[in-house]
Amino acid sequence: MKAVEKTEEKAIEVCPLCGSKLEKGYVASVAAAWSKKKISTWSLRGLFSGEIIIGTGLGVSIHNVEAYRCKKCKLVIFRYEVKSRKRTKGKE
């Protein structure tokens, strides 16, 4: 099988909602989780019922992910870190 060629990624430049130019920056957090349902708990532990997409949910170090925002729409687009809680071989 032939390896898939890497295609250059398109830069995110404009807001998909209003078409304004996006501002580039970072979202910084100790941890953030993705969940299809609301995570309702008063404890940080609740994050682990979701998929951790920024940071590890452990410790207090700040993680930065590159982000683009539209101040007008209050929309932030960022690519999350791919880190599973299971150890994967290789980097990190």
Site residues for Zn ion per CB under 5 A: 15, 17-18, 20, 70, 72-73
Euclidean distance between the first and the last CA atom of the chain, given in angstroms as a whole number: 28
Nearer Cβ to Zn ion, position 72 or 79? 72
Nearer Cβ to Zn ion, position 13 or 44? 13
DSSP 8-state symbol, 14 = B
In DSSP terms, 32 is beta-bridged to 54
Q: Give the contacts of 1 (CB within 8 A, at least 6 positions apart).
A: none
- 3-class state of residue 3 by DSSP: coil
CB of 78 to Zn ion, least distance (A): 15
For residue 73, the number of C-alpha atoms closer than 13 Å in the C-beta half-sphere is: 16
Nearer Cβ to Zn ion, position 45 or 72? 72
CB of 18 to Zn ion, least distance (A): 3
CB of 17 to Zn ion, least distance (A): 4
